[in-house]
Amino acid sequence: MHYIVMQIIGNFFEYNEVEWLIENKKYKTYLISCAISNYYKDNLSEDCKIQLLIPESLVTYVAKDENEAFELLNDKNKLKKKLLIKIEESPIFKELANFKFDVLIIQSIGSFNLNKKYAIIFENYVENLISYLIFDLINLKLEESKGIIFDVSTGLNIYVCSVIEALKTLVVYYKLLKIIQGGKGIDVKLTFSPPVIHGLDLIHPIQLYTYDAKAFFELPFKKDFNDLNEIYDFKEEGKKFSNSRKELKKAMTLLKLMFNAIKYNAPLTLFKTFQNVEVIELNSSLNLEKLMEKER
């Protein structure tokens, strides 16, 4: 398994080589994603895959006229191949040869004439950017990675904000998928560095922040009862209460679902499992009071 390091790319030629600083470790690269990947490899022995997020507006770098641009925008696979060729030609991106990397084309918004020959206007909405990003990121199989690291210091603000909002949705999505198994979902970190000022030889520190979102599944307890021994002492009796422990765990899981269904007016009475759809109900067999009384 590996970490996915994501960075938005705005052009192919205007990046300077920068000395980055991550927790007292220095790395000199053009792309901040390369510095982050080197840090994880050298200090944490973790593999990383760099995922470049390229707005479709960069089609103006690879299409000679508006007709070719229109053709490429209607065939994302062909556009991706053109962009990968451009990456191979640029000396800035040669350092990517040392890493596993891929390109994801994201939607654009606004007017662009990057090659100065013609202009393209993308009439779009932020909601579209976020929606398409959610499905595109799901297709990356984020749940099979160790985590996602997204740099927020590169790229236009509207793209950065859209990616953050999409990641927030996916954090909740994967938490809900794994709520029955007790899983925590996906691990997301955001990185930030001060703006790079061209012409000044400065060291740019990179800060990493854990990014999380609540999935609204909770119970009104005074403390977190992840360890069922805190509710009922099974240690003294050993295996005698093993069946009761299983029943209690099942009851607590379903109680959590039902409580939140009522609290948030959410239709959680139907919960999809891997094989079928079950109706969730707290019936008499899962009555906590009777279960506890039986074992006294």
pLDDT digits over 273-292, tens only? 444 445 444 444 445 455 45
Single residue among 211, 243, 270 that ends a domain in this structure: 211
The CA distance from 289 to 279, in Å, is 22
CA 124 to mean position of chain CA atoms:
23
pLDDT digits (tens, 9 = 90+) for 92-128: 899 999 999 999 999 999 988 877 788 899 999 999 9
In the block, which residue shows the tokens 């998928």? 177
Residue 144 domain boundaries: 3-211
Tokens standing for residue 253: 């899981």
Q: What percent of the chain has pLDDT over 90?
A: 49
Same domain, 188 and 283: no
Mean pLDDT to the nearest integer, 202-218: 82
> Which residues partner with 150 through β-bridges?
6, 190
Domain tally, the chain: 2
**Is 50 buried (19+), middle (13-18) or exposed (0-12) by CB count in 10 A?**
buried
Tens digits of residue pLDDT in 10-29: 988 888 899 999 999 999 99
Structural domain contains residue 124: yes
Residue 242 lies in a domain: yes
Determine the 3-state secondary structure of 276 from DSSP.
coil
219 part of a folded domain = no
Is residue 225 over pLDDT 50? no
Going along the chain, which residue ranges are E strands?
3-8, 18-22, 25-29, 48-55, 100-106, 110-112, 120-122, 147-151, 188-192, 203-205, 207-211, 270-272, 277-279
Of 102, 96, 100, which is closest to residue 137 (Cα–Cα)? 102
Same domain, 170 and 277: no
What is the rounded distance in angstroms from the CA atom of residue 263 to the CA atom of residue 107? 36
